[in-house]
Structure 1
Amino acid sequence: MKKVIITTFAALMLFACQNEQSDATNSETMAASRRGCATQEVLEAQLKADPMLAIKMNEIEAFTAKHGLSGFTGRLVNGKIEIPVVVNVLYRTSAQNISDAQIQSQIDVLNKDFNALNSDYNNVPALFSGVKANVGITFVLDQIIRKSTTKTSWGTNDAMKKTAQGGIAPTSPTTKLNIWTCNIGGGILGYAQFPGGASSTDGVVIDPRYFGLSGAANAPFNLGRTATHEVGHWMNLRHIWGDATCGSDLVADTPTHNEENYGVPAYPHYSTCSGTPVEMTMNYMDYVDDAAMYMFSTGQKNRIAAIFTAGGARASFAQ
């Protein structure tokens, strides 16, 4: 009888281990069908952990309201702010160890999207043509750091940014944009830290399956727009629906959205919020597929400019 119990227990343990391995494998192999960004959730957790962060972010908002139309100041390259990018690659599989070419393709996408050079920029409907904007920020690949890991997923608690937890600490985060690529898990494509957070966790995190144009990139998120969306957050842009029903993204020229949009919405897509405006579903800060997002607005450009101007939250990048 004792042998039977031991054998049964061993079988159950083996089954549990197999299920755990299967869940981990599914987490790594199942591609997301809808955009999932954890930036707002990460912000809420940071605000809960650090009450002073709310004060700092309120100060940033007050500065933005005052200086949002002043434009870039400080160090410029060809009239644009140039941002060095450090890409930190944490990989368990060969697919996660994305190639230099895939990384460069993502830098290229950022340069096109933030300079109105994307091929779909002219698809912006006439209704919004008067507010579509060239943000005028360029990105240069500064360094690639690679680290092998046994972790199957990293979550959204910033473990990938901490050496003590097996991650990679950010490189010069006050003068370089750090991007981590790793298997986040939970259907999350990426997340970013807003201006005002700790420099030790500053930057953007993106799953390698949605990074750049090649290799492990998976449709419908294979055009590099996850990084465009997350870098937008890093530059102080909110989700276009304000993370609330008919909420505010703190930008005057973006229409009020009911909520996030997914897939490829048919145009025009009307909001049921006050005034029933046509929603700007093609904005990079919505949740639509990569092929359906292709513009920033002038108001968003001005909001970004405020953080890089003298006294702004990311002014060190323009010095």
Structure 2
Amino acid sequence: MSALAVTGLAVAGAPDVPDTAQATDAVHLADAATDHTCRTDGSAPGSERRSPEGHDGELTPEQAADHQAQLEEALGTDRGRQIAPPQSVPVVVHVVSAEDGEGDVGRERVEQQIQVLNDAYRGVYASGEEATDTGFGFELTEVTRHSDDAWFHEFSSNRDTIRAELHQGGPETLNIYTADLGSGVLGFSTFPQDVESSPEQDGVVVSYDTLPGGSRENFDLGHTTTHEVGHWLGLFHTFQNGCESPGDYVDDTPYEREAANGCPVGRDTCTGRPGEDPVNNFMNYTDDACMTHFTPGQAERMVQHWAGFREPRV
């Protein structure tokens, strides 16, 4: 297996923004800590990914361009400095369960989830050129447990309160919350751009049954967390902006018109663009077993977001 480790990236200047993005007025999210909700259970191919508020949770082209502008501004202070992923990202997992014990995932499954994260971000699930080692590693530092029926069954309605009470650490600490998110939502995440305005809301939320060994069919290997942590580190979906430039702002992920369900290997929804759809990419909507890798470009983008928004300042 060959792997590409992304370390020691030199930031000579802010990354270029395609002309289409530069010409678009920046539109800030209505709520700075608006969660990016994604991935249903895939029971209906092409089914919509609905957030708890009833909108689809996707970023508009204007919102994505605004995120890019914020990244450029954040990296402006890092010109000429060598940047690299952290040796280890501290992780705090908050297990929210029902009072009858439903959802009280054990320590072993939590540790298995952290192992899945480490394997995914080191390129273990792919081979050859696709086996990209992003350089990111994750270390479980604490597991907290909270038994509350309202919090467990209605997490989305109480999420601001829950996260404000339970959140630990600074921008460099990954807070993961597990609960019952209902049948249509697998997880949601904040972006690095949100952390300054709403630090107590920063983190990733996943349905408890998506952890390794869970009961969510096709989504029981732990890659819902892999996917949401990708957002937490700044990545868009591979199908961001569809077939239109600048896509997901990553040069080595082929354009994709819409999310993929199942594992439609060989699908090509942007025939005027090079490459088949990146259905095996962790930032798609395919089944866990279909997901295998990030690209070097995605690894670089995650490092840029870490340097711009999450790296502790000395």
Q: With structure 1 as the length reference, what TM-score do the two structures score?
A: 0.71
Equivalent position to 1:195, from 185, 192, 207: 192
Query: Is 1:240 aligned with 2:238?
Result: yes
Residue type matched to 2:286 in 1? V
Counterpart residue number, 1:220: 218
Identify if the C-alpha distance between structure 1 residues 205 and 140 changes in structure 2 by more than 3 Å, giving closer, same or farther: same
* 1:313 and 2:313 correspond: no
Q: Letter of the 2:176 partner, please give it.
A: I
| Alignment of structure 1 residues 268-279 onto 2, 5 Å | 268-275=266-273, 277-279=275-277
| 8 Å contact kept, 2:132–2:294 | yes
Please tell me the root mean square deviation across aligned C-alpha atoms, in Å.
3.5
Q: Deviations over 1:182-222 (max 9, x none)?
A: 112251000110012111100000000102x12x3423111
Q: How does 1:14-93 map to 2 (within 5 A)?
A: 33=43, 36=49, 38=51, 58-63=69-74, 72-73=83-84, 80-92=86-98, 93=100
Written as runs of structure 1 = structure 2, the 5 A alignment for 1:1-319 is: 33=43, 36=49, 38=51, 58-63=69-74, 72-73=83-84, 80-92=86-98, 93-118=100-125, 121-122=126-127, 129=129, 132-151=131-150, 153-154=153-154, 156=156, 159-163=158-162, 168-185=165-182, 187-197=184-194, 198-211=198-211, 213-214=212-213, 216-242=214-240, 244=242, 246=244, 248-266=247-265, 268-275=266-273, 277-309=275-307, 312-316=308-312
Structure 1 residues 260 and 239 mapped into 2: Cα distance closer, same or farther (>3 Å)?
Answer: same
Aligned residues: 263
- For the 8 Å contact 1:86–1:141, the answer to whether it is kept is yes
**Unaligned segments of structure 2, at least 5 residues:** 1-39
Length-normalised TM-score, structure 2: 0.72
Describe the shift of the 1:189–1:243 C-alpha distance in structure 2 as closer, same or farther (beyond 3 A).
farther
Q: Which has the larger Rg?
A: 1
SS in 2 for 1:140: strand
Sequence identity percentage: 25
**Closer, same or farther in 2 for the Cα pair 1:298/1:276, shift >3 Å?**
closer
Give 3-state SS (helix, strand or coil) of 1:81's partner: coil
> What letter matches 1:229 in structure 2?
H
Deviation at 1:271, TM superposition (A): 2.4
Q: Distance in 2 between matches of 1:94 and 1:147?
A: 10
Following superposition, the deviation at residue 132 of structure 1 comes to 4.8
- Whether the 8 Å CA contact 1:63–1:306 is kept in 2: the answer is no
Secondary structure at the aligned position of 2:93 is classed as strand
Question: Comparing both structures, which one devotes a greater share of its residues to helix?
Answer: 1
d(CA) in 1 for partners of 2:253 and 2:81? Answer: 20
| SS of equivalent residue, structure 1 residue 162 | helix
Identify which range, 174-183 or 197-206, moves more after superposition.
Answer: 174-183
The CA distance in 2 between the partners of 1:68 and 1:271, in whole Å, is 37
Amino acid at match of 1:303: R
Q: Tell me how far apart the structure 1 counterparts of residues 102 and 268 of structure 2 sit (CA, whole Å).
A: 40
